[in-house]
């Protein structure tokens, strides 16, 4: 029996998952998303084209693969339609390649309003969500009041929708938030009809049958481990399990069916939205990382906060996810840096620790190790041996500290700018 290999972000999202899924897809027959929703923005670049995927798995550009939106995802029919139609217009008709689980939960127009209303009510302690209704949709799922893609096929679907909307309106009124969804609602119902033209399946059976037939499956994570609702920097997290365990619940795969776990990290750190970020740089170096790395949100266009690589957080993520191979992204952004730092520990109230603490707000001071920069362009390198000694020293330090090999190194946004060791 085959196992499901998994790609996960090990930081606060935007590590480059879309690019790597696209690069690895030729080795797989099925690619599946297992959590998150249109809060994700996964960028792929090849042949001079650039695509940003939100709900659709990043395996759709490699031809002939089955792509699955799993039960653990929350799907907004309007944004799904926008995404699928844009892809169809550029020659990528998805109907043959894409299936959606009956158990995938739906994001309703009122979920978007609730997301905005909860954020407005939080004042200065805002989470800085993507505003796509992710939290409220998952809240309904856990409250057992959510609507699923399979419900679209029921004759009483409209009544279920109206009941959900009525509940949301009560909350919105309580929050003093205007509830005018007429326009959005009309678009939503149109988009629902469009969604129904795709294959709606019992994806847990599709996936387990595929494994039994010896097919290889890649699970594509969204967000990152430090945004996980259990293990991230709560409450500044997303509302799903972004960690490896999320694959089991989000696709219906048993824990003993998990194979390789690829953990992706940037050679530095970024975060978008609020919440603690111990190695954040507020100086010129942070601004350089943002400018050279084009660190602006793929979904919201917001500036990403930037800082040095944080080994305390990285080791924590590797532990929680059971990472077997590391993938390092975007080192090319630091090509011109004289020195580069990595946080190896935190100092909290005078005590040094290399464990990720319960509360990382406030007095967390990173302890840094400094490395000489490589001061040359990594983007033309094709084989690991060609990298400069300073860069290899950086990579090999991370391998020694984490105990996990760095198997893939990405040195540019394009599919071709990837070194596999």
| CA atoms of 315 and 109, how far apart (whole Å) | 39
105 is catalytic: no
Task: List the one residue from 14, 15, 22, 310 that touches Mg ion (CB under 5 A).
Answer: 14
One DSSP character per residue, 229-285 reads TTTSSTTSS-SS--STHHHHHHHT--GGGEEEEEEEEESSEEE-SSS--TTB--SHH
**Residue 248 or 313 having the CB closest to Mg ion:** 313
| 409 and 331 Cβ atoms separated by less than 8 Å | yes
By the rule CB under 6 A, 9 interacts with ligand IMO: yes
| CA atoms of 233 and 128, how far apart (whole Å) | 13
Task: List the one residue from 223, 225, 233, 402 that touches ligand IMO (CB under 6 A).
Answer: 223
| CA atoms of 126 and 123, how far apart (whole Å) | 6
Angle, helices 157-174 vs 109-122, to 10°: value is: 20
The Cα-based distances of 4 to 70, 94, 145, 222, 262 in angstroms read 13, 23, 31, 16, 11
Q: How far is the CB of 16 from Mg ion (least distance, A)?
A: 8
**Residue 5 or 140 having the CB closest to ligand GDP:** 5
The Cα-based distances of 217 to 20, 28, 55, 65, 211 in angstroms read 15, 6, 18, 10, 8
**Residue 99 or 222 having the CB closest to ligand IMO:** 222
* Strand pairing report for 325-329 and 258-266: parallel
Q: How far is the CB of 331 from ligand GDP (least distance, A)?
A: 7
Taking CB under 6 A as the binding criterion, the range among 10-18, 66-74, 98-106, 161-169 that sits at the site for ligand GDP is: 10-18
Nearest residue (beta carbon) to ligand IMO: 273
By the rule CB under 5 A, 5 interacts with Mg ion: no
| CA atoms of 40 and 413, how far apart (whole Å) | 17
Q: How far is the CB of 409 from ligand GDP (least distance, A)?
A: 8
Taking CB under 6 A as the binding criterion, the range among 89-97, 125-133, 140-148, 328-336 that sits at the site for ligand GDP is: 328-336
Alpha carbon dihedral 352, 358, 363, 364, in 10-degree steps, equals: 50
The catalytic position among 5, 14, 228, 310 is 14
**Residue 20 or 195 having the CB closest to ligand IMO:** 20
Q: Which does 45 bind (CB under 5 to 8 A by kind): ligand GDP, ligand IMO, Mg ion, none?
A: ligand GDP
Q: What angle do CA 247, 355, 33 make, to 5 degrees?
A: 15
Task: List the one residue from 117, 272, 281, 381 that touches ligand IMO (CB under 6 A).
Answer: 272
By the rule CB under 5 A, 41 interacts with Mg ion: yes
Backbone angles phi, psi at 309, to 5 degrees: -60, 140
**Residue 54 or 111 having the CB closest to Mg ion:** 54
For 384, the 3-state DSSP assignment is helix
Contact characters 176-215, ligand IMO, x per CB under 6 A? ----------------------------------------
Straight-line distance from the first to the last Cα atom of the chain, in angstroms, rounded to the nearest whole number: 27
Task: List the one residue from 19, 34, 41, 78 that touches ligand IMO (CB under 6 A).
Answer: 41
By the rule CB under 6 A, 136 interacts with ligand IMO: no
Tokens, residue 43: 């960028």
By the rule CB under 6 A, 35 interacts with ligand IMO: no
The catalytic position among 42, 105, 111, 168 is 42
Question: Which residues, numbered 121-180, are part of the site for ligand GDP (CB under 6 A)?
Answer: none
Q: Which does 413 bind (CB under 5 to 8 A by kind): ligand GDP, ligand IMO, Mg ion, none?
A: ligand GDP
Task: List the one residue from 25, 35, 39, 402 that touches ligand IMO (CB under 6 A).
Answer: 39
- The radius of gyration of the chain from alpha carbons, rounded to an integer in Å, stands at 21
14 is catalytic: yes
The Cα-based distances of 185 to 27, 102, 107, 130 in angstroms read 41, 21, 12, 20
Backbone angles phi, psi at 107, to 5 degrees: -95, 120
User: CA nearest 217: which of 61, 395, 27, 398?
Assistant: 27
By the rule CB under 5 A, 217 interacts with Mg ion: no
Angle, helices 109-122 vs 182-195, to 10°: value is: 130
Contact characters 11-50, ligand GDP, x per CB under 6 A? --xxxxxxx---------------------xxx-x-----
* Residues contributing to the site for ligand GDP (CB under 6 A): 9, 13-19, 41-43, 45, 294, 298, 329-330, 332-333, 410-413
- Residues with a known catalytic role: 14, 42
* Residues contributing to the site for ligand IMO (CB under 6 A): 9, 12-14, 36, 39-42, 127-130, 132, 134-135, 222-224, 227, 238-239, 272-273, 298
């Amino acid at each position: 029996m085959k196992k499901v290999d998994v790609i996960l972000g090990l930081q606060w999202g935007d590590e480059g998952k879309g690019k790597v899924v696209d690069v690895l897809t030729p080795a797989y027959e099925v690619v599946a998303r297992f959590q998150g929703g249109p809060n994700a923005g996964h960028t792929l670049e090849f042949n001079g084209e650039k695509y940003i995927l939100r709900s659709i798995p990043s395996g759709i550009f490699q031809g002939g693969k089955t792509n699955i939106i799993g039960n653990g995802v929350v799907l907004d029919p309007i944004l799904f339609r926008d995404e699928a139609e844009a892809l169809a217009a550029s020659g990528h008709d998805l109907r043959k390649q894409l299936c959606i689980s009956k158990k995938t939960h739906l994001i309703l127009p009122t979920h978007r309003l609730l997301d905005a209303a909860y954020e407005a009510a939080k004042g200065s302690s805002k989470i800085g969500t993507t505003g796509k209704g992710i939290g409220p949709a998952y809240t309904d799922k856990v409250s057992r009041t959510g609507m699923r893609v399979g419900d679209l096929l029921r004759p009483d679907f409209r009544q279920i929708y109206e009941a959900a909307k009525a509940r949301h309106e009560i909350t919105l009124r309580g929050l003093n938030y205007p509830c005018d969804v007429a326009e959005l609602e009309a678009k939503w119902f149109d988009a629902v009809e469009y969604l129904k033209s795709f294959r709606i399946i019992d994806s847990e059976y599709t996936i387990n049958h595929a494994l039994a037939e010896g097919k290889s499956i890649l699970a594509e994570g969204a967000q990152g481990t430090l945004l996980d609702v259990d293990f991230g920097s709560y409450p500044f997290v997303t509302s799903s399990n972004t960690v490896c365990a999320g694959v089991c619940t989000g696709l219906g795969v048993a824990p003993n069916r998990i194979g390789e776990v690829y953990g992706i990290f940037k050679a530095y750190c970024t975060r978008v939205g609020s919440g603690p970020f111990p190695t954040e740089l507020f100086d010129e170096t942070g601004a350089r990382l943002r400018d050279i790395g084009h660190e602006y949100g793929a979904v919201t266009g917001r500036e990403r906060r930037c800082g040095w690589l944080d080994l305390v957080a990285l080791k924590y993520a590797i532990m929680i996810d059971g990472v077997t191979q590391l993938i390092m992204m975007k080192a090319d952004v630091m090509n011109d840096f004289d020195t580069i730092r990595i946080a190896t520990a935190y100092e909290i109230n005078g005590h040094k620790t290399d464990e990720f603490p319960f509360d990382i707000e406030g007095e967390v001071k990173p302890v840094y190790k400094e490395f000489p920069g490589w001061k040359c362009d990594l983007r033309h390198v094709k084989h690991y041996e060609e990298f400069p000694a300073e860069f290899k020293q950086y990579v090999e330090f991370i391998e020694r500290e984490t105990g996990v090999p760095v198997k893939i190194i990405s040195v540019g946004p394009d599919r071709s700018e990837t070194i596999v060791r």
